[in-house]
Structure formats: C-alpha cells, structure tokens
Amino acid sequence: MPRPEALLALVAAPALLALTLVISGPWRLTDAPLPPSLMQELERREMDLSRLAASARASAFSSPPLGRAVTSEALGCAELSGVTGVRLVGSGITKLVLRAALPLSGGEVALKSVHTTGGDVSRCVQRYGHPRGCYRLAAYKLLKEMVFLQSLEHPGIIKLQGQCYNPSFDPEMKVVTILELGTPLEMIQLLQTPWEERFKVCLDLVELLHYLANSPLGSVALLDFQPRQFVMVNGLLKVTDMDDVSTEELPCKGDEDCTLEFPTKTFSLKCTAHGKCEGINEKRNLFNAYRYFFTYLLPHTAPFVLQPILKEILNATGDLRYGANETLRAFQKVLHLYKAGLYLQKKSSHLKEYIALKGFHTTGVEDYKCWPSYSHLGCMLSVHSAEEAATICNAHPQCQHFIITLQTTWTGRPLALFQSNLTDLIPGGDNMVYVKPSATSWASL
Ligand SMILES: Nc1ncnc2c1ncn2[C@@H]1O[C@H](COP(=O)(O)OP(=O)(O)OP(=O)(O)O)[C@@H](O)[C@H]1O
Ligand SMILES: *[C@@H]1O[C@H](CO)[C@@H](O)[C@H](O)[C@H]1NC(C)=O
Ligand SMILES: *[C@@H]1O[C@H](CO)[C@@H](O)[C@H](O)[C@H]1NC(C)=O
Ligand SMILES: *[C@@H]1O[C@H](CO)[C@@H](O)[C@H](O)[C@H]1NC(C)=O
C-alpha cells in the first residue's frame, strides 16, 4: 500500500476538467504492449463507460433538476494538493479510501482512488502481468462510480464533491474522487442501539431504494449489496460503493429466462413484452435489503403493537410481494404510528400518581442501567410522553423518578432519564421531574 503522501503526489495534476472530456474520445494506450485479452477488457469497459455517460448526459438534459454536472465550486486537483491530516479510512477489493482535511476550510473529505495492492488489481496482474493496464482497468470502475454519483442525487447517496483527473495531462489515468466523509456502518454496534435508531437505518435504506427504482437513469440495481457498501453521515445512511451497479433490466425471451437467484431463495419473474425481466433490479435490491438489513434490524425490541406490522413488512419483502413503493408506504405508516404514540396500549394511567416538580436536573452521575439506553451512564430511553415514561418507571423496580429532558431523537420524541437515587437531583434548569409516590425521602428535595 502506498503511503498517503505518495499517493497524493501522484495525483496532484494542475487542472480540473469536466467529465465530458474524460469520455469524449476513445484514447488508446501508448505505452508497453498489452496482452490482447486485457486490451479487449479495457475496450469493453471504455465502451461501457461512454454508454453510461451518454445516458447520464441525456437524462441530465431531459430533467435538469436531477442531473448534476460538475459545478465551478467542485473541488479538484488544486485543493487535493493542499490537504492535510491524510489517514486511511477503508479499503475494498478495488478502491482505497483516505480521509483528509481541505486547505482553508479544514473540512474533512473522503478521497477514493484505485487500490493498487487490492484484490482486483493483484488478480489482474497475476493473470496478465501488466500492472499499468490492470491499474487502468480498475480506474474505469472508479470513473463509472463517478458518473453514477454525478447523475444521481439523493440524501441516501454519498455526495461527490469533486475529482482530480485530467485525461489529456494524465496518461497514467490517476483518478481521485472527492466525497463527503462518512463512518463505515458497524452492524454489530447497530444491533445494540435502540429500535428507533435501527428503524431509521432501514427507513433511510427504503427511501434510497425507492429513489433507485424510479431514478433518472431508470431502475438501478446495486449488484454488490452489503452493509460494507454503506456509511453513515450525520445520522443518515448513504451508499458509497457505486461501481457495481446496473441500469439495465435483464433481457429475456420468456419467463424462464427471468430467475432471480439468492443463496437461500430463487424467484421466478415475468418477461415483459419489451423483452425485459419485469422489475428485476428493484426486486434484487429489495430482497438484499430484507436479508442484510431488515431481518437483523427491524423486529427486535420493537414496540409491541408495531410488531405485527413489522412482521408483515418482513414477510412481504422476504417473499418479494412488495415493490419499492409499497415498502416505502409501509415504513411511512410505521413511522406515523410510532410518532403519534398510537402504538401505546391504552391502560390505566400511572402518571397521576407521580409528583411532578419543575426545575431540577441531574448531577450526571451513574445510576441504574437499562437496555438499550441512549446513555452509558444510566437508563435513558425515548418516550412519547410523560405518561409512557410513568409506565416504564413503574415497570422498573429500581426506578424512583424520571426526568423528561429537553433532548429529542430524530423522530422528535423526548429522551427520558430514569433514576433510582434521589440524591442525583439538584435544583436548576427547566426539566420536569416526576417522582414515584413510594420513593422515600422525596420531601427532602
Ligand atoms: N465516503 C466515505 N467515508 C468514509 N468511509 C468510506 C467512504 N467511502 C468508502 N468508505 C470505506 O472504504 C471502504 C471501501 O470503499 P468502497 O466500498 O468504495 O471500495 P471497493 O473496493 O469497491 O469495496 P468492495 O470490495 O466492498 O467492493 C468501504 O467499505 C467503507 O468502509
Ligand atoms: C410469509 O408468510 C407465509 C404464510 O405464513 C409463509 O409461508 C412464508 O414462508 C413467509 N415468508 C417469509 C419470507 O417469512
Ligand atoms: C412508484 O412511485 C413513483 C413516484 O413516487 C411513481 O412514479 C411510480 O410510477 C410508482 N411505481 C409503481 C410501480 O407504482
Ligand atoms: C446515591 O447517591 C449518593 C451521592 O451521589 C451516594 O453517596 C449514594 O451511595 C447513592 N446511593 C445509592 C443507593 O446508589
């Protein structure tokens, strides 16, 4: 693996050109002779890229608000040569990802380049013995990803902030794309977060799949769909790996050509009159969302009343009965029920037994824990109302009082802190504190 500084030195070319130049004319390799099969592969990728870029330009033309060109504010080689604090954040088979701080603003970005010691290039070198040709082969993937990121715009797709690549000055095809920086998705960590946060990740994903199914480039399938293709940026899930995507629906002569295969399941789809497998891209995405995300993130510790609806979503996506539109609608329904507190079972009220006091806050010391808590110091949960908090406090033997804090979650629900030790409370602030009537010595407050 090259040192980050060495990598940057390689790519710091003087000018930034629009992508149109990249693919405007077929260029040919001028250096060492290439094995014919590698040459063919390179030509195939080049054609593939020009076709994609042409359709991206066409879609940008027909629907200007959606097409996104490289604008004058886009970052380029000049900014890249001045970055500091370069560190590795991730790598895959094809690409190496560094983080770096921009000159002037100091804002951090992710820099993607070809992973010269990654599996893609190494396997190619083993086969063809031509490192430069193999580098170029991989660089096409990066360029393809760049075209997708330029043509698609959605909060669930990582934002392309610029690029450094100049085909006329750069026969080596050193490509660097500059992206917003995220943090890799940690599935294990995510499994330990409250249901509301896991639901958010699934909802973000469904919104992305809905966009991809109806995108300006047609229905887009993520062929390599795994949690490691996603990152989190400011609490939003975003796809970052877009080099292996398809905008073509599989061509067919009859229904028998349209099977969608997964390790655990095979689906038979219809062949349309136009000779395409109907909805195959959208369905592939949905089943992958089901098997990699929904099954793990959606059901556990969901509010009791929402569980049948979530089960129905799992069943419908797992059997591909829902398309992207229906799935999104079902998720929005769950969100609505959750936000409105309609999942709460109407039981007798507990709150009226509590003594409400305004103007206390907690010392922030450790108290009893619960799972899954929003705070590692104690038991902090998102609640719909003080009424729901009272029900929770009643169900926790340790709970003697709770505070409705001014902090809220992404759904706008307040966080409530449940505590056992009244000495944790001190006067001051605007929070409401509710004290269990049985709590001893509350009068000492
Ligand atoms: N914008 C970003 N911010 C932070 N980390 C990122 C970003 N983009 C990618 N990464 C990290 O770098 C890794 C490699 O990036 P990417 O998936 O694009 O490369 P790849 O070679 O195509 O990977 P794969 O082998 O999974 O196909 C990702 O798994 C992710 O953890
Ligand atoms: C959906 O429910 C039906 C009927 O109960 C069942 O046969 C099927 O296996 C379920 N599918 C999934 C993916 O859970
Ligand atoms: C899904 O919704 C989009 C608009 O959000 C619409 O354009 C499209 O036709 C719908 N698709 C189906 C299959 O209903
Ligand atoms: C309650 O808090 C006080 C002061 O922080 C501490 O001395 C006491 O041990 C705590 N009691 C319990 C039961 O945790």
What are the average pLDDT values for consecutive 10-residue runs of the chain, which has 445 residues? 42 31 39 86 92 84 48 78 92 95 92 94 94 92 94 96 76 84 94 96 98 95 95 97 93 96 96 95 98 96 92 97 97 94 73 88 86 92 94 93 94 95 82 82 52
- Three-state secondary structure readout of 181-235: CCEECCHHHHHCCCHHHHHHHHHHHHHHHHHHHCECCECCEECCCCHHHEEEECC
398 lines ligand 4 (CB under 6 A): no
- Position 349 scores a pLDDT of 79
CA angle 212, 411, 208 (to 5 degrees): 5
For atom 2 of ligand 4, the residue with the nearest CA is 423
Per DSSP, the three-state class of 42 is helix
User: From ligand 2's centre to the CA of 287, what distance in Å?
Assistant: 14
**How many Cβ atoms are within 10 Å of 400's Cβ, its own excluded?**
23
What residues form DSSP beta bridges with 425? Answer: 362
| Alpha carbon of 367 to ligand 4 centroid (Å) | 9
Unique residue bearing structure tokens 């490192």: 131
Return the CA Rg of the chain: 27
Please tell me the predicted confidence (pLDDT) of residue 171. Answer: 57
Provide the β-strand partners of residue 318. none
Ligand 2 contact, 319 CB (< 6 A): yes
Q: What pLDDT, on a 0 to 100 scale, did the predictor assign at position 424?
A: 76
Q: How far, CA to CA in Å, does 145 sit from each of 51, 92, 163, 380?
A: 14, 14, 12, 41
| pLDDT for 208 | 98
Tell me, using a 6 A CB cutoff, whether residue 372 lines ligand 2: no
Tell me, what amino acid is at 263? P
Strands (E) across 247-354 are located at 259-262, 265-268
Cβ 53 vs Cβ 19: under 8 Å: yes
- CA–CA dist 31, 42 (Å, integer): 14
Please choose from 1, 75, 91, 158 the residue to mutate so as to test ligand 1's pocket, defined by most ligand atoms within 8 A of CB: 91
End-to-end CA distance of the chain: 63
Q: Residue 292 has which token pair?
A: 């990699």
Confidence (pTM): 0.88
Is 392 in a helix, a strand, or coil? helix
Ligand 3 pocket check for 214: Cβ under 6 Å: yes
Residue of the CA atom closest to atom 9 of ligand 4: 421
The residue whose CB lies within 8 Å of the most ligand 2 atoms, and thus the one to mutate among 290, 315, 320, 322, is 315
Q: Is the CB of 181 under 6 A from ligand 1?
A: yes
Alpha-carbon gap, residue 238 to 160, rounded angstroms: 12
Q: Would you give the distance in Å from CA 196 to the centre of its chain? A: 16
> What is the dihedral sign for C-alpha 152, 75, 109, 104?
negative
d(CA 48, CA 45) in angstroms, rounded, equals 5
Atom 11 of ligand 3, residue of closest alpha carbon: 325
For residue 325, which atom of ligand 3 is closest to its CA?
A: 1
Tokens of 408: 């809220």
Alpha-carbon dihedral angle through residues 91, 93, 94, 99, given to the nearest 10 degrees: 0
Residue nearest to atom 6 of ligand 2 (CA): 315
Residues carrying an active site annotation: 224
Residue whose CA is at the smallest distance from ligand 2 atom 10: 315
Q: Interior CA angle at 156 toward 163 and 186, to 5°?
A: 95
Mutate to test the pocket of ligand 3, among 63, 214, 286 (most ligand atoms within 8 A of CB): 214
Look at strands 414-419 and 160-164 and give their pairing: unpaired
Which ligand 1 atom is nearest residue 181's CA?
A: 3
The answer for 358, left when phi > 0, alpha when psi is -120 to 50, beta otherwise, is: beta
Distance, CA of 118 to CA of 210 (rounded, Å): 33
Nearest CA to ligand 1 atom 26: 92
The confidence score (pLDDT) of residue 331 equals 98
Residue 158 DSSP one-character state: P
| Confidence at residue 231, expressed as pLDDT on a 0 to 100 scale | 97
**Pocket probe mutation, ligand 4, options 362, 399, 423, max atoms within 8 Å of Cβ:** 423
Return phi, psi of residue 113, to 5°: -145, 180
Q: Are 383 and 389 in contact (CB under 8 A)?
A: yes
Q: Which ligand is nearest to the CA of 108?
A: 1
Each residue of 278-305: b (16+ CB within 10 Å) or e? Answer: bbbbbbbbbbbbbbbbbeebbbeebbee
Is the CB of residue 134 less than 8 Å from the CB of residue 128? Answer: yes
**Contact criterion met (CB below 8 Å) for 237 and 230:** yes
CA-proximal residue: ligand 4, atom 1 (nearest): 421
Contact 213, 278 (CB under 8 A): no
**Ligand 2 atom nearest to CA at 290:** 13
In the numeric block, the tokens 């001893």 are attached to: 440
Ligand nearest to the CA of 320: 2
Q: Is the CB of 315 under 6 A from ligand 2?
A: yes
| Length of the chain in terms of residues written | 445
Ligand 3 midpoint to CA 429 (Å): 49
Residue ranges and CATH numbers for the domains of the chain are 4-181 (3.30.200.20), 185-251+280-339 (1.10.510.10), 351-444 (3.50.4.10)
What pLDDT is recorded for position 282?
98
DSSP code at position 77: H
Please tell me the predicted confidence (pLDDT) of residue 430: 83
Rounded to 5 degrees, what angle do the CA atoms 293, 294, 299 make? 130
At 309 the pLDDT is 95
Tell whether ligand 2 has an atom less than 6 A from the beta carbon of residue 295: no
